[in-house]
A and B are shown apart, each in its own frame.
Chain A
Amino acid sequence: MSERPFKRKEYFEKLLTIPEQEIDYTESPSTKTADWEGAEVLFPITPEEFRAFREFIRDRRDKVEMLIAKPDGEKIKKIAILGEQFPDIHLFENSASEEDPLVDIGHNSKYTKRRSELQTDWHNALQFFLSKVFYDGCATTEC
């Protein structure tokens, strides 16, 4: 923030202490080129005051925005209903496409893993885990 003449601060501070009808606007410091270059000089405030203003405006704006953008309850519920199909469609199907993360080596849908297999065989469980993190989570290289 650029330096500003002290008298400006005095003038603006005075405005806060005297009644409005007593203000002599002719005393108002004229706006110079330098003022426009650093527009903040038009507001004779300290950096701390400026930051406080900025936070205030930001806070108010966010609160207003949050009031405007309320979660759409109906839409959220419908998406959750769609999610109810997720286990049936993606985790339990008898047949699975070759890209299904539950399909065993060889891309063969015959080998789709089931809950019971994941619980009984540590190797299947490891495979399931790796398929989740490699496939669904997309591994370090290209997806």
Chain B
Amino acid sequence: MLEYFWHAYKVLDRNRLRLLNPNFSLDYLDLQMEREGVKNRHDRRMVIDSLKMARNLDIWDNNITLYTLDRVRNGKITEVYKALVHKGDRGLHGIGPKRASVFIRDIVMIWKLEKHLNTDEDFITCVPIDTHVRRTCERAGIRVDSVITPSNDEESDLLLKKAIIDACKSLGVSPLLFDAGAWMLGMARDRVKINREIMGGKPVIRGRRIPVEQILRKLDAGILPDDIISDHPKLTLDDIRAAQVFAAGYLANEEL
């Protein structure tokens, strides 16, 4: 997946000095991306729509991040969400509620802007739902009131977002932090494997046969992640993170 991003980005980078020029043909850009290897036209349209959006953000120096920061700080986070999510003739092609929420959530978390979120609708814009979040919710007893039968996935996600927000608010917990925690657990789940046939059933890094315990012991002994990777070249930094998250999840009684 990442490959498409790099291909698209290479083309953008090559043309970076003229991308904002209204005379620069976006059809030509589309062609370049296709030649570079971005074969899916929906992916290309998404990139072009994002560029068009940046072109229209003159007040914010054509900067999507600055625009988002300004809107969030002024209590208008839903405006960003609506500008991103593709619906009818507005929004960016290929950007659904999940992708828009991932971006907005990260901006809010990086700049610590949660204090600017006032309404449930504000929170809805920055709580992305994926399979991992859904599974974690089930385990944490966060359920959607099934009297309302969602007619599609989007509606189903919206109901779950509301359930998360309600549950977290009643506990005085940040829905964003819960969502991010669930997200991290999901990543760890993808990387840590428990199989009786492998290393006697100890949790290991998937495909590496390196026990999580071994990584944690090294970290505990003060060995830096980079040095652990030097010792085990097959490991990545994400594997080490996954081991840490796995341990944290274990302590939180969150079955992985």
Contacts and interface: CB of A to CB of B under 8 A. Distances in A.
B140 interface: yes
A58 B149 CA distance: 12
A75 B8 contact: no
B5 A87 contact: no
A129 B47 CA distance: 10
Interface stretch (A12-20, A25-33, A38-46, A92-100): A92-100
B89 interface: no
A23 interface: no
Given A77-B173, A85-B248, A138 B1 contact: yes
B181 A87 contact: no
Given A83-B176, A105-B13, A127-B12, A75 B248 contact: no
A126 B50 contact: yes
A122 interface: yes
Interface stretch (B116-124, B192-200, B207-215, B234-242): B234-242
B219 interface: no
A34 interface: no
Contacts of A59: 147
A72 B147 contact: no
| Majority SS at the chain A contact face | helix
Contacts, number: 218
A77 B238 CA distance: 24
Contacts of B2: 99, 134-135
Nearest to A70: B141
Residue picked from A59, A62, A74, A130, most chain B C-beta under 10 Å: A130
A141 to B, nearest CB: 5
B6 A105 contact: yes
Chain A interface residue number, banded: 35 or more
| Majority SS at the chain B contact face | helix
A75 B173 contact: no
Contacts of B96: 137
B34 to A, nearest CB: 14
A126 B150 CA distance: 34
Contact of B171 (A76, A82, A131, A132): A76
A80 B110 contact: no
Contacts of B248: 82, 85
A86 B174 CA distance: 13
Given A78-B252, A118-B65, A126 B183 contact: no
B50 A129 contact: yes
Nearest to A92: B110
Contact of A80 (B13, B64, B100, B173): B173
A62 B65 CA distance: 43
Interface in A90-143: 90-93, 95-100, 105, 107, 115, 118-119, 121-123, 125-143
A75 B140 contact: yes
Interface in B216-256: 225-226, 236-238, 241, 244-245, 248-249, 251-254
